[in-house]
Amino acid sequence: MVRLSPFEFILFMGLILISAPGTRAWSKEGHIMTCRIAQSLLESEAAHAVENLLPDYANGDLSALCVWPDQVRHWYRYRWTSSLHFIDTPDEACTFEFSRDCHDSHGVKDMCIVGAIQNFTSQLLHYREGTSDRRHNMTEALLFLSHFLGDVHQPMHVGFTSDEGGNTVWDREIILTALKDYYDKDLELLLNDIVANFTDGIWYADVSSWKDCNNLHTCPNKYATESINIACKWGYKGVKAGETLADDYFNSRMPIVMKRIAQGGVRLAMILNRIFGDSDEGLATAT
């Protein structure tokens, strides 16, 4: 019988919740695809580090635990992470400013997606240091970073303070509609199409710009700015509160959601390759 440490037990329970039917999260499917894309693009050093940090029961699959932060955010031990999944911007501002927007509901600074990405990136840059206990913290940092890279690319996770309903549509319904209408509910077919679009398809020429990042600490600001711009142009525009969204809303926004999943995966791979590759380079670009 395999014994799990208390830390591994928490991760394992999160995995059970992820697998349970009817669980709700920011697109379980979206996070899974983002993490699968990222893991497929890892260089050997980063791939080894990720596999080393994952618990054995994940079988080396990062995507198996990429939804874990959503599952534990309401647990007492992790309640402090709830505000890290989103950013509230002033209504109609259509801009993101870290000093203005990155805080929790009590005004505590740095408590938002971008602050979380910066924090967990900094933690992982010290991966080679410390004891086995520190490794547990690194595992959590890896899972949180992987999850929050997905969240910051979901446009409505960087949205107006008064918005209470946009996430449901953009989190799950657009992806589930695509799966039902075009992919016979087969996630692998959808993922293959997304990958094809950036490996040799319509987004191929853009991939180098997606990976452009001179400073790992500040690049998440750019990702959040992209999201609020998309939210204003495609999420809120032409929509009134309480209105039933028509098919053309879903169909016109679907390619945007798929592109953001691709961008999140490509950028997560870029960050992990930098973190776990040449450590001196990673530290230099994160300051």
Nearest to 127 by CA among 112, 114, 140, 111: 140
158-176: burial string, b at 16+ Cβ within 10 Å, e else: bbbeebeebbebbbbbbbe
Q: What's the mean pLDDT when you consider all of the chain?
A: 87
How much of the chain, in percent, has pLDDT values that exceed 90? 73
In terms of average pLDDT, the best of 9-23, 89-103, 244-258 is 89-103
What are the tens digits of pLDDT across the range 211-253?
A: 999 999 999 999 999 999 999 999 988 777 667 788 888 999 9
Q: Which residue has the higher pLDDT, 177 or 10?
A: 177
Model pTM score: 0.88
Q: Which residue has the higher pLDDT, 168 or 140?
A: 140
Fold of 6-286: P1 Nuclease (1.10.575)
Helix, strand or coil, per DSSP, at residue 9? helix
User: How many Cβ atoms from other residues are within 10 Å of residue 97's Cβ?
Assistant: 13
DSSP calls for 70-138:
HHHTTSGGGGGGGGGG-EEE-TTT----HHHH-B-TT--BT-SHHHHHHHHHHHHTTTTSS-HHHHHHH
Domain ranges of the chain: 6-286
At 23 the pLDDT is 36
CA separation for the pair 124, 250 (Å, rounded)? 37
